[in-house]
Amino acid sequence: MPGRAATGRAVAAFVIYGVLVWWLAFAWRGSWRAWAAPIAGLLGIVLVAWLHVKLSEWTNGRIYLRALQVLLYPYGVLVTAVGLFIAAIPATPVGRRDGLCHACRYDLRGRTERDAVCPECGARVLEPGERGTRRREADRSA
C-alpha cells in the first residue's frame, strides 16, 4: 500500500498541472487556444483517472490511491471551471493597448471598435490577442 509520500507527490504534481493549465489559458486568452487549454487539461485528468483504475485492476488492487481517485473528480471540475473562467477574461488588444497604431503609432483613440484599418497608414487594426509586428527598428535601418 502506497504511503503518504506517494500521495503527497501526486498532489504536488496535480497542483503544478492545474497552475500550468490556468497559466496557458491566461497567456492564450483572446485566442481559441485559451479554450483548448482547460479542455485538454480535463481530458488529461480523465486519462489519469482511467489509467489509475486500470492500474489497480492490472495489479489486483495493489496499486490504488483511494485519496487520489476521490480527489480527481472535484479537481478536474476545479481546473476546468477556473480554466474556462480565465479563458473568458478579455485580452487587451496589443495594438491598441496604448491607443496607438501598431505600425505607425498614429493615435487611434476615439475611433470605434469596428474600424478595421488605420486611417494614417492603412495598417490593419489588430484583433484582441494578435501581436503587432514592430516595424520601426527595421524602417530606421533601411
Write out the residues near Zn ion by the rule CB under 5 A. 101, 103-104, 106, 118, 120-121, 123
User: 118-127 contacts: CB < 8 A, separation 24 or more?
Assistant: 125/95, 125/96, 125/101, 126/93, 126/94, 126/95, 126/96, 126/102, 127/30, 127/93
How buried is 123 (Cβ within 10 angstroms: 0-12 exposed, 13-18 middle, 19+ buried)? Answer: middle
DSSP code for 94: G
Nearer to Zn ion, 57 or 115 (CB): 115
Nearer to Zn ion, 4 or 114 (CB): 114
Q: In sequence order, which ranges of the chain are alpha helices (DSSP H)?
A: 4-27, 32-58, 66-87, 136-141
Distance of closest approach, residue 139 Cβ to Zn ion, in angstroms: 12
What number of CA atoms fall less than 13 Å from residue 108's CA on the CB side? 28
Distance of closest approach, residue 65 Cβ to Zn ion, in angstroms: 58
Nearer to Zn ion, 81 or 117 (CB): 117
Distance of closest approach, residue 140 Cβ to Zn ion, in angstroms: 16
Distance of closest approach, residue 111 Cβ to Zn ion, in angstroms: 11
Nearer to Zn ion, 39 or 123 (CB): 123
**CA gap 115, 12 in Å, rounded:** 47
Distance of closest approach, residue 52 Cβ to Zn ion, in angstroms: 55
Nearer to Zn ion, 98 or 120 (CB): 120
